[in-house]
Amino acid sequence: MNADAGSTRQSLLKAAYEEIHRYGFQAASLNAILDRTGVTKGALYHHFSSKLQLGYAVLDEHITDELESLWFKPMQQPGHPIEVLKAAIKQLGDHYECEEITLGCPLNNLAQEMSAIDDGFRQRVDTLYQRWQSSIEALLTRGQQQGSVNTSIDAADTAFFILASLEGCMSMAKNAQSHNELMRCGKGLMNYLNSLRA
Amino acid sequence: MNADAGSTRQSLLKAAYEEIHRYGFQAASLNAILDRTGVTKGALYHHFSSKLQLGYAVLDEHITDELESLWFKPMQQPGHPIEVLKAAIKQLGDHYECEEITLGCPLNNLAQEMSAIDDGFRQRVDTLYQRWQSSIEALLTRGQQQGSVNTSIDAADTAFFILASLEGCMSMAKNAQSHNELMRCGKGLMNYLNSLRA
DNA sequence: TCACCAACATACCAACCAGTATGTATCTCT
DNA sequence: AGAGATACATACTGGTTGGTATGTTGGTGA
């Protein structure tokens, strides 16, 4: 592979991610992505066989990587499971304060827009959501074994609900366009997490 | 106004709602809406000055009405606040079982897609969310006064979190395309609601 | 009865869209 | 050195989009 080939592909991926994050996949314009990068259409179609494949690549590579560093890595921290969770959520909130909170969670955006009309997107998002849920579930289970988390709850169901609430909070904050609403929602989430202690 | 004029407008609104519900506002095709209704383009632009205004009307009329009968009305029921909430949520779940759950909550869909790129949509959705939240808040406050809801919680914050969780649950279920996941998430939500009792 | 207007219908338009056909420069492998 | 592949660049196409210009029809008030 050419030395530049990788970077051309990466810059396309990054620009496509940003365009999709703002306008959604369907409304994202390939020409806008090309303008933004200075790459030509021939180059784009050399690296990706269609707009759909470009979208899949954004999910499989860029968004997966982001989730890795923003969630799965913080989840590896040692300590009280509830505190680790709270810290990971806080970090996520901080990140979306720097980035525009108004653009919402990229994964949730794609889930909402595409899951009903394209199964390729749906399955990819589903896989990521399952990994996300499993990471929370594992943490809760560990806490239950250690005696720091209430054993009367079902770890899997609870993990699923925590993830849903988290996405819901980001969704509400996105529409309200205010970090204040995100904090408000975060407060409710923190209260709920505290209620899971043993 | 002509006798048929109202019904033409209504059928456009209904078809537009369905098209937007499935494909989103931006991807909704006016021609598809026309095909579906048998109305001509001239008629459409006689009733609505632009696609955007049609979208606003769908929100202001169709979706607002749906929320009225699906949420605000059940919320008027007498009884224990937590039970009223649970019943309203259950009814909402049942409704989205009949309709395709995979299409998601119409309000949440529009919020996700449009809030970042059009302020007219954003403000309309925001108003509806605020009414929604207020209805939950009022119920919780009533419960606190009656002694049936824990007085240590902040009713406004909690109402906001409940709404966020609810939207999050529907969002997750939409992507999973399974009623099972909706039930799972509902279980978590019910547990949380029970924890709010006095 | 005649003017007027609401409620359409038909035909059209420029802009934009994803995608393609074709050409070319450079790099690699033999 | 020559063949082939990689990595683009340019110019184009057919289809779709939201929107418009112009015509027609039927009811209604003066």
Give the span between the Cα atoms of B121 and A49, in whole angstroms: 34
Beta bridge partners of A116: none
- Cα separation of the two ends of chain A: 55
Give the distance, in angstroms, between residue B46 CA and nucleotide D24 C1'. 15
| DSSP bridge pairs for B149 | B197
pTM score, two decimals? 0.94
Average pLDDT of chain A is 93
Hits for CB < 7 Å against strand C across A residues 108-147: none
Predicted pLDDT of residue A1: 43
CB-nearest partner of A164 from B154, B165, B195: B165
Shortest Cα–Cα distance, B76 to chain A (Å): 24
pLDDT at A2 over 80: no
Compute the average pLDDT of residues A166-185. 90
**Residue A4 pLDDT greater than 80, yes or no:** no
Check whether residue B26 has its CB closer than 7 Å to nucleic acid strand C. Answer: no
Mean pLDDT over A112-131 rounds to 97
What SS3 class is residue A177? coil
Residues B65 and B69: their CA atoms lie apart, in Å, by 6
3-state secondary structure labels for all residues of A19-57:
HHHHHCCCCCCHHHHHHHHCCCHHHHHHHCCCHHHHHHH
User: With a cut of 70, which residues of chain B have pLDDT below it?
Assistant: 1-5
- The model's confidence at residue A5, banded by pLDDT at 50, 70 and 90, is low
- Write out the two tokens for B28: 């909704």
A66-90: average pLDDT: 95
Which residue matches tokens 């969780």? Answer: B165
Q: Name the percent of chain A lying above pLDDT 70.
A: 97
Q: What is the pLDDT of residue B28?
A: 98
Of B24, B163, B188, the CB nearest to A161: B188
Query: In the prediction, which pLDDT does B1 show?
Result: 42
| A11, pLDDT greater than 50 | yes
Is the Cβ pair A111, B188 closer than 8 Å?
A: no
CA–CA separation, B49 and B82 (whole Å): 45
Is the separation of the CB atoms in B63 and B128 below 8 Å? yes
Which pLDDT does position B198 carry in this prediction? Answer: 87
Determine the Cα–Cα distance for residues A118 and A107; give it in Å rounded to an integer. Answer: 15
> Average pLDDT in the A15-26 region?
98
Nearest-angstrom CA–CA distance, A122 and A140: 27
B172/A167 touch (CB, cutoff 8 Å), yes or no: yes
Assign B50 to helix, strand or coil: coil
Q: Which of A6-20, A78-92, A174-188, B24-38 has the lowest mean pLDDT?
A: A174-188
C-alpha distances (whole Å) from B23 to each of A155, B134, B177, B180 are 35, 30, 16, 24
Q: Which of B105, B132, B165 to mutate to test the interface with A (most CBs of A within 10 A)?
A: B165
Range 156-195, chain B: CB under 7 Å to any strand C atom: none
Tokens 């080939």 correspond to what residue? A5
Distance CA A158, CA A137 (A): 8
CA distances for A44 relative to A19, A23, A37, A48, B19, angstroms: 15, 19, 10, 6, 31
Joined tokens for residue A3: 């030395």
Say which residues have a Cβ less than 8 Å from residue B93's Cβ, sequence separation at least 6.
Answer: B182, B183, B186
CA atoms lying within 13 Å on the CB side of residue A168? 31
Give alpha helix (H) positions in B24-116: 30-37, 41-47, 51-57, 64-67, 73-75, 81-98, 106-114
pLDDT digits (tens, 9 = 90+) for A27-51: 999 999 999 999 999 999 999 999 9
Residue B48 Cα distances to B28, B42, B51, B73, angstroms: 15, 10, 7, 30
Q: Is the model's pLDDT at A155 over the cut of 70?
A: yes
A109, A112, A157: residue with CB nearest B188: A157
Euclidean distance between CA atoms B99 and B51, whole angstroms: 25
Averaged over A139-147, what is the pLDDT? 96
